[in-house]
Amino acid sequence: MTPVIEPTRRIAVLDGHRFSERGLARIADAAASVVMLSSDALFDDAERLRERAPDLDIADGGLVRGDVREAIVRAADLGCRLLVVPEPLRRRRFLHLAVNGAIDAAERGHPTVAVLVLREREVPGDVAVFSNTGEASGYGLAFALEIAMRRGVAVARVLPKKGLYVRRTAEVGHRADVEAGEHGVKVRYRKVARPLETVLRGQYTLAVHSVLDVIGKRSARAGAGAPARIQHDPNVDAVLWLLRFFRGDVLLVADGVRLREGRASAGPSLLDDQGEPGL
């Protein structure tokens, strides 16, 4: 049986020229091989990483059209379950495209894709994995345990007091728990009334949150393949708050995410320029 947790893995990197030297070192340490994707043809994104890690297998994944949606699908098609991206300049737009990219990848048969937003500064602390709604995924836990193993820290499972319901791929989370125990990764459990607020106020190096099915609608006037407008979704809202306020790295794990079309609400969309998701 193929292990769920990998000491190093095949990683896709978007716009490597935007990472600091420390960021590139963190990527190289975690990678068995790297696929470089770029939104700008003027930069050779592989050059700096190759100078730092000359023995690392680095492949050119080509140009993407400047958004993370295409990068997610390209990475998944090239055998990468983890895409590392620099801190987004426009958080709402980034998350909108990331969720749509995850939906596209799922529709192409890729069971999961994770997007790691790597901050400029590394924050000390454990890895926090949580669900603000009581729904989560086994892949989210697996990535949390794997990254904690690589960083030499523990995992904090922050659970809502009403209990955590692992809604999807529970068998992956169970296998990850077993493998993490074999690697000596410690897991600490904490039940709280408001998991998101607890993580935002805590001292953690990485926050992991899953995105499951989302409610949205594709415009009938748009062309084929146009992105869906995502309505207010508690899982997506939580990631948006992490991108805005959490100081450490953020990992968005899409677990076979599907679009469930719903009526547009009277209020603004999650990713409109007006309005903010509520805590």
pLDDT digits (tens, 9 = 90+) for 191-206: 999 999 999 999 999 9
Angle at 222 between CA 229 and CA 96, to 5 degrees: 25
Residue type, 236: V
pLDDT of residue 277: 40
> Is residue 75 over pLDDT 80?
yes
**Residue of 115, 101, 92 whose CA lies nearest to 69:** 101
What would the pLDDT profile of 262-275 be if each residue is shown by its tens digit? 654 434 455 544 34
pLDDT at 103: 94
Where exactly are the structural domains of the chain? 9-261
Determine the average pLDDT of the residues in 214-223.
79
Q: What is the pLDDT of residues 144-182, one digit of tens each?
A: 999 999 999 999 999 998 777 778 899 999 999 999 999
Mean pLDDT of 230-236: 88
pLDDT at residue 81 tops 90: yes
Strand pairing category for 204-211 and 126-130: parallel
The rounded percent of the chain whose pLDDT value lies above 70 is 92
Average pLDDT over residues 12-21: 93
pLDDT at 276 over 60: no
Confidence at residue 66, expressed as pLDDT on a 0 to 100 scale: 65
pLDDT at 262: 64
Task: Determine the pLDDT at residue 40.
Answer: 81
CB contact set of 185 (below 8 Å; sequence gap of 6+): 145, 148, 149, 154, 155
CB contact set of 181 (below 8 Å; sequence gap of 6+): none
| CATH architecture designation of domain 9-261 | 3-Layer(aba) Sandwich (3.40)
CB within 8 Å of 193: residues ≥ 6 apart = 160, 161
Residue 93 to residue 103: CA distance in whole angstroms: 16
User: Of 10-19, 99-108, 166-175, 223-232, which gets the smallest average pLDDT?
Assistant: 223-232
Residue owning tokens 């309505």: 231
Distance of CA 201 to the CA centre of its chain: 20
Q: What is the pLDDT of residue 278?
A: 33
Is 109 or 42 the better-scoring residue by pLDDT? 109
How many residues are there in the chain?
A: 279
**Is the CB of residue 126 less than 8 Å from the CB of residue 153?**
yes
According to DSSP, residue 39 is labeled S
Span 106-125, average pLDDT: 94
Across the chain, mean pLDDT equals: 89
Report the distance separating Cα 42 and Cα 153, nearest Å: 38
Q: Beta strand 214-217 with 229-230: parallel, antiparallel or unpaired?
A: antiparallel
* pLDDT above 80 for 1: no
